[in-house]
């Protein structure tokens, strides 16, 4: 006992923190507070009021003003032979209540006030504690192993992401090269097209039918686009209506008629009328399937425009006439070709001939250019896709998955528990949900925002399934479903070490603000110690201090 030396003198006692004050030993534990630090009363409650939590007057202790009035001792020392020694708050000493939870030997009630007798229960309590502690330690050991597994799994997952990033990088490089090539191709094709001497306003040399097909295709496209847009608008209106009806029916259920608010009453009556009215035909699934079909691509609907337009261009009469180069010997052909092109370019440049390839009229682009451009666009999209994917993966890599990246292994895994009339579910790094047992809609209690560290200070239950005290990792969830007459639901999920993922406790701390206590091996042995570990150390540490 570190402080024991202060109590050794047989004749007088000196206050621990106030060495200028000493008293005859008869004043030790005489149930009167002499020392300003309470050190003369280690065994009574006489100095319990020496605390910043109590109101004070100059006459509290014998000490003069300005002397050290912080309690020198952490509490009444319970030997708890057969169990772990502890300190009991002085406020609990001789108050007539056996505080077996902390003082299993009952020694804090030595005075027997009001006839109370606290027998020594350390044998049984200690035995039970050791049993549980053993189970706890075992469980902790298992939990530690599981965490290692999780970390390994997280490592694998991380490696996957890293690998993917690398391959994505390669793929992207490839795509970028392709884009460059295609850009060149487009330029080339355009140049080629510029060189074509004769071009009609209708790019695809076709007959009247061809024109009609072109127009029909265009119109169909327009109709489909419009239909899709209207349908989208309808869907969003429908869902808005549903949301609104939901709000109103909740409103009707939950409004407080006590307030006698005429406005509210009118609104409720109007809603009841509205709800009672025939709402017209329910949207039929069949209709929607029809719409799906209609808005599908024409090809899917058995209509392939390309069969009616397209690649016969090269075969068109005019082109055949002008393709006289092919009749020339290759060497000459090259020369003529070049000359003709140069001529055409000159004519175009000098404004004598209209440039049909420059895209000044969209309808005037040749199929070849369009195709080349489409290929380019596709390739660019590919690059974009890769870039996005790469960014996502890189973000993922940079994201906080907790120490050792461990939550990577748990992401989207869900655990749940029953409490009252609901089942509560938490999905790691995703969201929390409340599901009525009787059926009905699920309620989103918040979407995962980030990992946080918070300080908790709870008693650890004997089975170790609790937060204990110290800093803990927590998952913050915000912006869940809005609460009637309240905020958007939110949940703080506080994590502590446990052998398996399990929800221990769910509390609605205040309206629509929830707190879950969840056990998971993921947080074992991080932040210095596990919950159980901290508690164990504290209990064990007592011996050293004394």
Partner 1 sequence: MVKHENFKTCAQSGFCKRNRAYGDTALSSSNWAAPYSLDPASVKFEKGILTGTVSKTIANTGEAVRLPLTVAFYESGTARVTIDEERRQKGEIELRHNSKAKKQRYNEAEKWAIVGGTTVSTGAATSKAAEKGTTKIVYGPASKFEAVIRHTPFGVEFKRDGETQVKLNDRGLLNMEHWRPKVDKPAPEKKEGEEEKKEGEEAVVVESDKEIAEDDGTWWDESFGGNTDSKPRGPEAVALDIEFPGYEHVYGAAEHAGPLSLKETRGGDGKYSEPYRLYNSDVFEYEMDSPMTLYGAIPFMQAQKKDSTVGVFWLNAAETWIDITKTTTSANPLSFGIGSSVTTQTHWISEAGLLDVFVFLGPKPQDVIGAYTELTGYTQLPQQFAIAYHQCRWNYVTDEDVRDVDRKFDKHRIPYDVIWLDIEYTEGKKYFTWDPMTFPDPLGMNKQLDEHERKLVAIIDPHIKNKGNYPIVEELKSKDLAVHNKDDNIYEGWCWPGSSYWIDCFSPKGREWWKGLFRYDKFRGTMKNVFIWNDMNEPSVFNGPETTMPKDNLHHDHWEHRDVHNINGMTLVNATFDALLARDKVEDKHHVRPFVLTRSFYSGSQRLGAMWTGDNQAAWPHLEASIPMLLSMGVSGFPFAGADVGGFFGNPSKELLTRWYQAGAFYPFFRGHAHIDTRRREPYLAGEPYTQIITQALRLRYALLPAWYTAFHEASVSGAPIIRPNYYVHPGDEKGFGIDDQFYLGSYGLLAKPVTKEGQEGQDIYLADKEKYYDYFDFWTYEGPGTVNVAAPLDTIPFLMQGGHIIPRRDRPRRSSGLMRYDPFTLVVVLGNSGDAEGTLYLDDGESFDFQEGGYIHRRFSYASSTSTLMSEDLAAAAGKKTKEYLKQMEKVRVEKVIIVGAPAAWKGKGEVEVSEEQSGKISAARKVSLDWHDKEDGKAAWAVVRDPGVQIGSGWKIAFA
Query: Rule CB under 8 A: which residues touch partner 1?
Result: 30-32, 34, 45-46, 48-49, 51-60, 62, 64, 89, 91-92, 94-97, 113-114, 256-261, 419-421, 457, 459, 485-486, 505, 507-511, 513
98 versus 529: smaller Cβ distance to partner 1: 98
How far is residue 31 CA from its own chain's centroid? 56
Smallest distance from partner 1 to CB 63, Å: 10
Smallest distance from partner 1 to CB 46, Å: 7
Smallest distance from partner 1 to CB 519, Å: 17
Of 216, 23, 140, nearest to 463 (Cα)?
Answer: 140
Provide the token pair at 95.
């108050």
Handedness of CA 402, 406, 408, 411 (dihedral sign): negative
81 versus 511: smaller Cβ distance to partner 1: 511
Smallest distance from partner 1 to CB 66, Å: 12
25 versus 62: smaller Cβ distance to partner 1: 62
The strand pair at 431-436 and 422-427 is best described as antiparallel
C-beta of residue 471 within 8 angstroms of C-beta of residue 517: no
Smallest distance from partner 1 to CB 244, Å: 23
185 versus 508: smaller Cβ distance to partner 1: 508
Range 347-358 burial, b when 16+ CB lie within 10 A, else e: ebeeeebebbbe
113 versus 275: smaller Cβ distance to partner 1: 113
d(CA 405, CA 154): 6
45 versus 69: smaller Cβ distance to partner 1: 45
The strand pair at 513-520 and 490-497 is best described as parallel
**Angle (deg, nearest 10), helices 262-276 and 208-254:** 130
C-beta of residue 418 within 8 angstroms of C-beta of residue 435: no
Q: What are phi and psi of 475, to 5 degrees?
A: -105, 120
Smallest distance from partner 1 to CB 84, Å: 19
265 versus 388: smaller Cβ distance to partner 1: 265
Contacts of 225 (CB under 8 A, 6+ apart): none
Smallest distance from partner 1 to CB 243, Å: 23
């Amino acid at each position: 006992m570190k402080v024991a030396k202060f109590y050794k003198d047989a004749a007088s006692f000196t206050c621990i923190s106030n060495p200028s004050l000493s008293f005859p030993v008869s004043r030790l534990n005489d149930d009167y507070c002499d020392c300003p630090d309470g050190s003369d009363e280690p065994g009574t409650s006489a100095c319990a009021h020496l605390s910043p939590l109590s109101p004070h007057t100059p006459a509290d202790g014998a000490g003069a003003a300005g002397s050290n009035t912080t309690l020198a001792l952490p509490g009444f020392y319970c030997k708890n032979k057969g169990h772990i020694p502890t300190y009991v708050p002085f406020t609990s000493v001789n108050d007539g209540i056996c505080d077996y939870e902390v003082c299993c030997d009952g020694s804090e009630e030595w005075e027997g006030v009001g006839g109370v007798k606290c027998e020594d229960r350390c044998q049984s309590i200690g035995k039970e504690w050791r049993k549980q502690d053993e189970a706890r330690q075992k469980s902790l050991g298992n939990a530690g192993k599981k965490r290692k597994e999780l970390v390994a799994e997280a490592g694998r997952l991380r490696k996957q992401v890293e690998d993917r990033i690398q391959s994505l990088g390669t793929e992207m490089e490839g795509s970028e090269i392709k884009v460059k090539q295609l850009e060149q191709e487009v330029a080339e094709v355009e140049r080629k097209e510029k060189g074509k001497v004769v071009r009609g306003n209708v790019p695809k040399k076709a007959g009247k039918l061809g024109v009609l097909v072109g127009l029909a295709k265009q119109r169909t496209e327009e109709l489909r686009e419009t239909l899709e847009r209207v349908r989208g608008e309808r869907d969003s209106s429908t869902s808005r209506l549903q949301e609104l009806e939901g709000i109103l029916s909740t409103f009707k259920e939950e409004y407080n008629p006590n307030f006698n608010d005429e406005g509210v009453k009118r609104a409720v009556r109007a809603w009841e009328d509205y709800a009672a009215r025939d709402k017209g035909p329910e949207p039929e699934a069949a209709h929607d399937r029809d719409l799906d079909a209609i808005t599908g691509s024409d090809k899917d609907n058995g209509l392939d425009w390309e069969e009616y337009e397209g690649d016969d261009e090269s075969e068109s009469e005019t082109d055949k006439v002008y393709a006289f180069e092919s009749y020339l010997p290759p060497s000459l052909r090259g020369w003529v070709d070049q000359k003709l092109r140069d001529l055409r370019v000159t004519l175009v440049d000098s404004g004598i001939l209209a440039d049909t390839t420059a895209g000044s009229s969209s309808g005037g682009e040749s199929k070849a250019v369009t195709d080349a451009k489409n290929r380019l666009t596709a390739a660019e999209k590919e690059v974009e896709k890769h870039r996005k994917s790469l960014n996502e993966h890189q973000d993922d890599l940079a994201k906080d998955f907790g120490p050792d990246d461990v939550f990577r292994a748990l992401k989207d895994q869900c655990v749940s528990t029953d409490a009252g009339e609901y089942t509560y579910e938490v999905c790691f790094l995703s969201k929390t949900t409340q599901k009525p047992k009787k059926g009905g809609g699920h309620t989103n209690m918040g979407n995962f925002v980030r990992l946080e560290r918070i300080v908790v200070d709870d008693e650890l239950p004997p089975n170790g399934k609790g937060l204990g005290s110290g800093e803990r990792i927590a998952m913050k969830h915000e912006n869940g479903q809005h609460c009637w007459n309240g905020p958007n639901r939110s949940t703080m999920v506080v994590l502590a070490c446990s052998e398996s993922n399990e929800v221990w406790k769910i509390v609605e701390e205040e309206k629509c603000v929830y707190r879950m206590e969840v056990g998971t091996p993921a947080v074992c042995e991080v932040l210095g110690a596990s919950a159980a570990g901290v508690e164990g150390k504290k209990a064990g540490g007592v011996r050293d201090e004394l």
